[in-house]
């Protein structure tokens, strides 16, 4: 998404030649492969552990940190693997995001009209907000010592990165679409005139 925003803001006239179907597909496949590899490493590591105590997880779903807490075998290797994979992928993602948004903000500051600057900033701010929520909650969950027990905060953070962030992107981008706004307004007026 940050590369898409970069192409749209920094090279608006060349956007369709930059963001081709092939490039979009490559970016999706690349992100899927990284995610799949990271999930495969975590899952295989969790399956190699022994579980001999309670099988009740005090969490919304079966995530790696709660599973590590349930294990009765040594979890240092799995914990290190989890922190390394999440940290390295997070660092790559955040570095890419930081680079593209630095280039975007540098371009936006050179726009003469204040209306053009506001449009460019509003285009990028929603995506940046979603990514910051995602990065902060994932970092809070995965990148801390295994001895720290913050059960309620872990649950809130997991809801942020599994439910709220994926829900925000379509909501934000659909509400920016003028056709969706007109359809919502039309349904509201139909409802208002029928029931009031």
Percent of the chain with pLDDT over 90: 3
| Stretch 65-71: mean pLDDT | 80
Give pLDDT, residue 22: 92
Q: Report which of 89, 80, 78 is spatially closest to residue 134, judged by C-alpha positions.
A: 89
pLDDT band at 146 (very low <50, low <70, confident <90, very high): low
Q: Is the pLDDT of residue 29 over 90?
A: yes
SS3 category, 20: coil
DSSP state of 12: G
Average pLDDT, the chain: 80
Could you tell me the two tokens for 5? 């925003």
Gyration radius from the chain CA atoms: 21
Give pLDDT, residue 70: 82
Q: Is the pLDDT of residue 169 over 90?
A: no
Give pLDDT, residue 148: 60
Give pLDDT, residue 178: 67
Give pLDDT, residue 58: 73
78, exposed or middle or buried, with CB in 10 Å at 0-12, 13-18, 19+? buried
Give pLDDT, residue 60: 73
> What is the residue extent of each domain of the chain?
79-195
Q: Is the pLDDT of residue 83 over 90?
A: no
Q: Are 111 and 117 spatial neighbours (Cβ–Cβ below 8 Å)?
A: yes
pLDDT band at 194 (very low <50, low <70, confident <90, very high): confident
User: What is the total residue count of the chain?
Assistant: 196
| Stretch 145-163: mean pLDDT | 73
pTM of the prediction?
0.67
pLDDT, tens digit (0-9, with 9 covering 90-100), for 85-114: 888 888 888 888 889 888 888 888 887 888
In this structure, the number of other CB atoms found within 10 A of the CB of residue 111 comes to 15
């Amino acid at each position: 998404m940050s590369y898409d925003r970069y192409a749209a803001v920094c090279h608006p006239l060349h956007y369709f030649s930059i963001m081709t179907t092939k490039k979009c597909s490559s970016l999706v496949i690349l992100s899927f492969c990284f995610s799949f590899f990271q999930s495969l490493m975590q899952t295989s590591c969790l399956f190699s552990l022994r579980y001999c105590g309670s099988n009740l997880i005090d969490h919304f779903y079966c995530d790696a940190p709660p599973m590590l807490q349930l294990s009765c075998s040594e979890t240092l290797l799995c914990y290190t693997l989890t922190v390394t994979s999440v940290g390295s992928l997070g660092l790559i993602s955040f570095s890419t995001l930081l680079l593209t948004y630095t280039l975007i903000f540098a371009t936006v500051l050179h726009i003469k009209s204040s209306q053009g600057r506001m449009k460019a900033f509003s285009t990028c701010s929603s995506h940046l907000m979603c990514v910051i929520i995602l990065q902060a909650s994932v970092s809070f969950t995965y990148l801390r010592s295994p001895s720290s027990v913050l059960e309620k905060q872990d649950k809130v953070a997991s809801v942020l990165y599994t439910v709220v962030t994926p829900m925000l992107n379509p909501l934000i981008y659909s509400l920016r679409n003028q056709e969706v706004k007109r359809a919502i307004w039309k349904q509201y007026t139909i409802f208002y005139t029928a029931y009031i």
